[in-house]
Structure 1
Amino acid sequence: MILIAMGVSGAGKTRIGELLAERLHCDFTDGDAFHSAANKAKMHKGIPLTDDDRWPWLKTIRAAIEEKQHAHETAVFTCSSLKRAYRDILRAGDKDVCFVYLKGTREVLQERLSTRTGHFFDPSLLQSQLETLEEPNEDEAITVSIDLTPEQIVDEVIDRLKMR
């Protein structure tokens, strides 16, 4: 099984991904690690990424997913996965890939981003991400509110995985 914690910046993808991997006793990989230096520089300057910027990044993450699958390993990844087309690349038709959508209000997300330090993402890009976001429907992802504590989110995801 491959889990992908998704959502806009500030949703808590990394923290939730780490906790899920810990609970599932598997590897965790932050999708941001696959961004090119050029992508990171653009985001640091507050310039939104285009689809052309994202395609190679998504394909690199998909290749990492396939490595885990070929090794028959469970793994947790993070990736904003804002559009269905992006999720389609990451999923590639695999029923073994499950998205976990971390959903939050603009206010909560802005507050989180305003207190975050040491990240390349310019908080001014939140609006662009929210405009790009195509929220997944129930058959595409497990949706969890970021108003819950990280532990409650992980508990809910684990419970919902058991029902799948």
Structure 2
Amino acid sequence: MITPRRLHATALAFAATVATMTGAGTAFAAPASATSGRPNCAGPASDTWVNVTIDGVRNGNGLMAVTLYADESRKFLVKKGSMYVGRVDATAPETKMCLFVPKPGVYVLAVYHDEDSSRNLKRGGVLGLPEEGFGFSNNPPTVASIPSFRSVRLNIAKSGLSTRIHLKYP
């Protein structure tokens, strides 16, 4: 059973996620020359990238925002804790993109479907729960709380690896 206390904790966590996704780091898609033939790449160009497929996208409106976090639990979902946010045009039923990462290593990806292109995760109600789709690397359960840091860690050992993130809509 979801208690009001757990819902409030979830709302606070999502508020932190929104602050991080919308206020931290530079967000952009890399220019075509920097993608070396990899369309829909986002983030500061580097020699290392991960192919990301985001499924469960309910429409092609707006942008898909992918936030990259370093392997530091204290920075996960906190204001100014992310490395950057990459954004690409959303496509339904799935959005495919690549995200540059600084170098091979362990990272966390948090995604939201910015349907109105506001560059903010739309929230509603008293608790401020998300009104747009969201998801995390490794697709952990997020019914009444944010996922644990350990459950969302993703090892990107070399360029060109692929991951799939399933969006959940309220």
Verify same fold: TM over 0.5: no
Larger strand fraction of residues: 2
Larger relative contact order (C-alpha < 8 A, sep ≥ 6)? 1
TM-score in terms of structure 1 length: 0.29
